[in-house]
Structure 1
Amino acid sequence: MPNLINSPRIISAGRAQHDRHSPNRVRRPHGFPSWLLEYTSGGEADLYVTNGIVKARQHSLFLYLPGTRQTYENNNEAGIWSHNWVSFQPRSDWLNWLDWPPIDAGVVMLDHLALDTSNHVKSCFDDLVKVFHGPLPQREPLAMSLLEQLLLWCDSANPNSGSQRFDTRIQRSMAFICERYREPLTLESIAVAVGISPSRLAHLFPQEVGITPMRYLEQHRIEMARQRLAATSDSISDIAERVGYGSASYFSKVFRNVQGCTPRESRKRALMV
């Protein structure tokens, strides 16, 4: 039986260059359901925040939390904006590494990275994109490993490093969900497992993770199903049951809502890679 990854994942990643002839103007009023990390290796971008414009200059990174409005574009006056980006769902033990200085609600930034640190970040980013889009059978766990290295380099330059902004109970609840996702979990059962009231969990979890505990559970179940569809020949009904859904039709509906395609289409795409 294949060893399926019991963790969140990278959703998309890439490299790009933009100038006045190929502008990159992003207007996402509701953001992404995942985290979005951007690294500037050349030029700069303008981030539109509540109090004006923040410059994302060379050797800087900015990070949007899930559900945060995203409004940014390349700054034509600064030449070509060269940048790497990755959209991902973090592992629970990464959360403290993502406690960067805020520039707006749901937007954080690391600016003025030392050249050596910036070079390491760029190297990890370049390798991540190459591996993620490559042919290796283990490309997804390898890409996650490179993202982890990247975030560790970022943490070495983070002025907030060592702080514990993220509640350990939220980290434990994420780990509990990832471990017990096959079971019929409820907000109450998760709260009891980590020693917090359901109302407090319902308040803190989206505040720190960006989505509700039950949405996190749903996304994790669907990710486990997606990996099993790609790695096994199990029937869709068997996979639905294995990831915690009693109804194959309901599982297919949720899968489509999360992934944008049916389980069968997801399996077909995996076979084409």
Structure 2
Amino acid sequence: MKFPPMQLDNPLLPNYDFDAHLVAGLTPIERDSELDFIIDRPNGMQGFIINITTRGKGMIFRGEDQFEVGHGDLLLFPPEAAHFYQRHDQEPRWYHRWIYFRPRGFWSELLSWQLSTGGVYLTKNLSEDSVQLIESLFIDVDLASKQDTPFSGELAVNLLEQLLIRCKTLQPENAIRKLDPRIIEVINIMSDNICREYSVEELASRVYLSASRLAHLFREDVGSTIIQWRNDQRINYAKQLLTTSQISINRISRIVGYTDPLYFSRIFKRVIGVSPKAFRNYHVSIEED
């Protein structure tokens, strides 16, 4: 097997120093190409690496722990896990997107998946819709990490957090849970008029529950409070308007349910990591590139 020359400035080649909080990329391995070699890091790395196969197949580990990954399969290498992987010897290619990162302190729950082999977490058999969503987040993190603009680093980290949350929700232990029909009804009520200020008491009366019982069930089933869920949906709607329209930020704040634009900006920055203006400018700059 041909081994590439040692380089210090290319993360796809040996001896690259991952001395950064976040590095992302795409590794397009073709048989007998410069990148067609075994990655062997017996001591792991200082940070985590999350990986999704986009084309072909790869082989992870050897011996009893060996397993293959194909289109849409997700891997998460913790710092203590050994790295040993390569293109599957019966496949002509293995393309995989990856993100190396040092996690935020409160991400610990997101970084423990249900299934693991040899210390490496694995998620397989995702729906095509889930694969497309996850891959788009990988691409967004990659783009943001390579931008030299104000807040690009913060945006990359925030997008990575969204990716990790999505991956966590796709774990088998979460997939088998079904929402209470009354919680689904409450979600539908709020979704139909996301800008309206529903009180918990009003929502509870619509599904014949006490306010305290609804609040408890909602948090148990959805994983957040009713207010947190509503704010997340409003921010998602605002993101869509910021990137697909020229509507002013003040008007967007009213459309999604915030009468005070300054309060809207504070909520948006707390959730996304950057202000609405910086978020819009970043996406405009990507389109122009």
Give TM-score, length-normalised by structure 2: 0.49
Give CA deviations for 1:123-152 in whole Å, capped at 9, x if unaligned.
777654554538xxxxxxxxxxxx9xx99x
Give CA deviations for 1:6-42 in whole Å, capped at 9, x if unaligned.
xxxxxxx98798943644349xxxxxxxxxx987975
Seen in structure 2, the aligned counterparts of structure 1 residues 74 and 38 have a Cα distance that, compared at 3 Å, is farther
Matched residue SS, 1:109: coil
Matched residue SS, 2:279: helix
Which amino acid in structure 2 is aligned with residue 109 of structure 1? Q
**2:200–2:211 Cα contact (<8 Å) kept:** yes
**Which residue does the alignment assign to 1:243?**
256
1:153-168 matched pairs, under 5 angstroms: 165-168=178-181
Seen in structure 2, the aligned counterparts of structure 1 residues 126 and 165 have a Cα distance that, compared at 3 Å, is closer
1:247-262 matched pairs, under 5 angstroms: 247-262=260-275
**1:184–1:244 Cα contact (<8 Å) kept:** yes
**Which residue does the alignment assign to 1:215?**
228
Deviation at 1:240, TM superposition (A): 0.9
Deviation at 1:74, TM superposition (A): 5.2
Seen in structure 2, the aligned counterparts of structure 1 residues 130 and 160 have a Cα distance that, compared at 3 Å, is closer
Deviation at 1:245, TM superposition (A): 0.9
Deviation at 1:178, TM superposition (A): 2.0
Equivalences, count? 190
1:68-87 matched pairs, under 5 angstroms: 72-73=78-79, 75-76=81-82, 79-80=84-85
Q: CA–CA distance in 2 between the matches of 1:242 and 1:255?
A: 14
**Which residue does the alignment assign to 2:282?**
269
Deviation at 1:182, TM superposition (A): 0.9
**1:43–1:58 Cα contact (<8 Å) kept:** yes
The runs of at least 4 consecutive aligned structure 1 residues that moved more than 3 Å come to: 13-26, 37-44, 57-63, 71-74, 80-85, 104-108, 118-132, 158-161
Q: Which has the higher contact order (CA 8 A, sep 6+)?
A: 1
Which amino acid in structure 1 is aligned with residue 230 of structure 2? L
Structure 1 residues without counterparts, runs of 5 or longer: 1-12, 27-36, 45-54, 64-70, 86-103, 113-117, 135-146
**1:170–1:204 Cα contact (<8 Å) kept:** yes
Q: CA–CA distance in 1 between the matches of 2:213 and 2:274?
A: 34
Q: CA–CA distance in 2 between the matches of 1:160 and 1:220?
A: 20
**Which residue does the alignment assign to 1:186?**
199
**Which residue does the alignment assign to 2:184?**
171
**Which residue does the alignment assign to 1:24?**
47
Q: CA–CA distance in 1 between the matches of 2:214 and 2:202?
A: 11
**1:18–1:74 Cα contact (<8 Å) kept:** no
Matched residue SS, 2:114: strand
Give CA deviations for 1:204-242 in whole Å, capped at 9, x if unaligned.
222222211100101111111111111111112211111
Seen in structure 2, the aligned counterparts of structure 1 residues 123 and 208 have a Cα distance that, compared at 3 Å, is closer
Root-mean-square deviation over aligned CA pairs: 4.7
**2:52–2:135 Cα contact (<8 Å) kept:** no
Given candidates 202, 207, 215, the residue that maps to 1:202 is 215
When Rg is computed on C-alpha atoms for both structures, the one with the higher figure is 2
**Which residue does the alignment assign to 2:13?**
none
Give TM-score, length-normalised by structure 1: 0.52
Q: CA–CA distance in 2 between the matches of 1:207 and 1:125?
A: 23
Structure 2 residues without counterparts, runs of 5 or longer: 1-23, 28-38, 87-95, 100-108, 118-122, 141-162
Seen in structure 2, the aligned counterparts of structure 1 residues 212 and 75 have a Cα distance that, compared at 3 Å, is same
Deviation at 1:189, TM superposition (A): 2.2
Matched residue SS, 1:79: strand
Seen in structure 2, the aligned counterparts of structure 1 residues 248 and 131 have a Cα distance that, compared at 3 Å, is closer
Percent of aligned positions with the same letter in both sequences?
Answer: 24
**1:62–1:108 Cα contact (<8 Å) kept:** no
Give CA deviations for 1:36-58 in whole Å, capped at 9, x if unaligned.
x98797548xxxxxxxxxx9x76
Q: CA–CA distance in 2 between the matches of 1:231 and 1:126?
A: 23
